[in-house]
Structure 1
Amino acid sequence: MTVAVLGATGATGRHVVSTALERGHHVIAPVRRAGTFAPREGLDEVIWPEVTDVPALTRVLPGTSVVISALGGAGNGPTTVCTEGIRSAVTAMKAAGVARLIAVSAHGVLETHDKSLYSVAVWANVADRMRDKETMEPLITTSGLDWTIVRPPKLSDHDGIGKYRAGTDLRIRLWSAIGRADLAAFLVDEAETPQYTHAYPRITR
């Protein structure tokens, strides 16, 4: 496949890029600056200077099999990176004739923003990022694309363990977490063999 990875330079995105390449896929990595990645067979860096730049993204998507979004806001404070990036992606994908979108969101948004200990804790710590995910998701679900919205709990930088549990009704507890490497494996698994089209899978280790 040809896989476009949005947020390719982020902590999760880099794992998605390397996982897809290791499995023999061609990867398109939109980046702000050339030379962000070391040259590697099967990897094409393309310049996407701002997440609001729809024409730049549209030019590089024709022929792409799937877009995986690992976009995320950096630092503290209000952010709209996910919302603006997905708004651009949806427009660019439609113009380029690409139908499949897999996006990383977060458990605790929208209908999962409840009174559970997990939801209370995550909103207390990263509310700005959660708000960004909440405004991002409707752009995806109303897009007409073949979408999957993945809602992981806390992400860790632990080495991949090569296995995970996933499901739309998976119980997320206060201590639930998933390593970024294993999340990346799930994202590429879903790209290769779709099981959650128009669904919101959760994932834990």
Structure 2
Amino acid sequence: MKLTIVAATGGIGRQLLAQSLAAGHEVTAVVRNPSRLDVDVKAVAVDLSDVNGQSEALRSAVQGADAVLSGLGARTKTDYGVATRGTRALIEAMDAVGTKRLVVVSAAPIGTVASPARPNPPRYDEGDGFVMRHVLNPMVKRVLRDHYADLATMEDEVRASRLDWTIIRPPQLTDKPLTGAYRTAYGQNLRGGTKISRADVADLMLRSLTMPESGHAVMALAY
């Protein structure tokens, strides 16, 4: 397949890049700084924290792609909003050139985070157990409030698009190696699922491209 990987030098993006190349896919990497790439691939320099004037570069990056996979998200407090702004620009570029398949990464708690399109989300995720509902999620949401608000609004943009989309919601990310031995669920989190490696997130993102049931779906994964 011909794939475009957005934020290809991020934690998940690097895994997507490595696994895509190992599988023999043709890859275009969308990155802020191409010099940070440690593999020889076609690179398009786009700073998605400031999308003004970059629509042409984005269009060229997604032109002819069978799918676009995005690991876009804030790395620091100054990046808050990048997921929404960057994904909106990405969707516009895909619409302009007729590319349809999009897979993005969000986060496990987002189903219960309010957003402009979902001002009254469920109080609890059906897949969460007692400790997750009443201890861990409230604590994490306080600490990462702005980051999660950005991801929730990003999900609004994806859902409202005319694309064939999949939203992946992982729990806490680790740098452990690829296992392929994880659980998945549609539309809710996984009971007791608190961690997943970035490598396994990338694995599911790529697998979803051959899973018809993943279209217009939210997928959770965890060990």
> How high is the TM-score relative to the length of structure 1?
0.90
Q: 1:50 to 1:202 in 2, by over 3 A?
A: closer
Deviation at 1:172, TM superposition (A): 4.2
1:67-93 superposed Cα distances (whole Å, 9 cap, x missing partner): 111011012367011001100010000
Deviation at 1:193, TM superposition (A): 3.3
1:20 paired to 2:20:
yes
1:1-205 equivalence runs, <5 A: 1-40=1-40, 43-51=41-49, 52=51, 53-76=54-77, 79-111=80-112, 114=123, 116=133, 117-168=135-186, 169-173=188-192, 176-205=194-223
Kept in 1, the 8 Å contact 2:48–2:82? The answer is no
1:178 aligned counterpart, secondary structure: strand
Q: What is the CA RMSD across the aligned residues, in angstroms?
A: 1.9
Identity %: 31
Q: 1:26 to 1:78 in 2, by over 3 A?
A: closer
Kept in 1, the 8 Å contact 2:70–2:104? The answer is yes
Q: Provide the C-alpha distance between the structure 1 equivalents of 2:33 and 2:79, rounded to a whole number of angstroms.
A: 24
1:126-180 superposed Cα distances (whole Å, 9 cap, x missing partner): 212101101111111011110111111111111222321111144344x611100
> How high is the TM-score relative to the length of structure 2?
0.84
Which amino acid in structure 1 is aligned with residue 42 of structure 2? Answer: D
Kept in 2, the 8 Å contact 1:108–1:114? The answer is no
Deviation at 1:45, TM superposition (A): 1.1
Kept in 2, the 8 Å contact 1:153–1:172? The answer is no
Q: Provide the C-alpha distance between the structure 1 equivalents of 2:39 and 2:15, rounded to a whole number of angstroms.
A: 16
Q: Provide the C-alpha distance between the structure 1 equivalents of 2:47 and 2:31, rounded to a whole number of angstroms.
A: 7
Unpaired runs of 5+ residues, structure 2, are 114-121, 125-132
Q: Provide the C-alpha distance between the structure 1 equivalents of 2:47 and 2:72, rounded to a whole number of angstroms.
A: 14
1:102 aligned counterpart, secondary structure: strand
2:108 aligned counterpart, secondary structure: coil
Kept in 1, the 8 Å contact 2:6–2:13? The answer is yes
Kept in 2, the 8 Å contact 1:3–1:68? The answer is yes
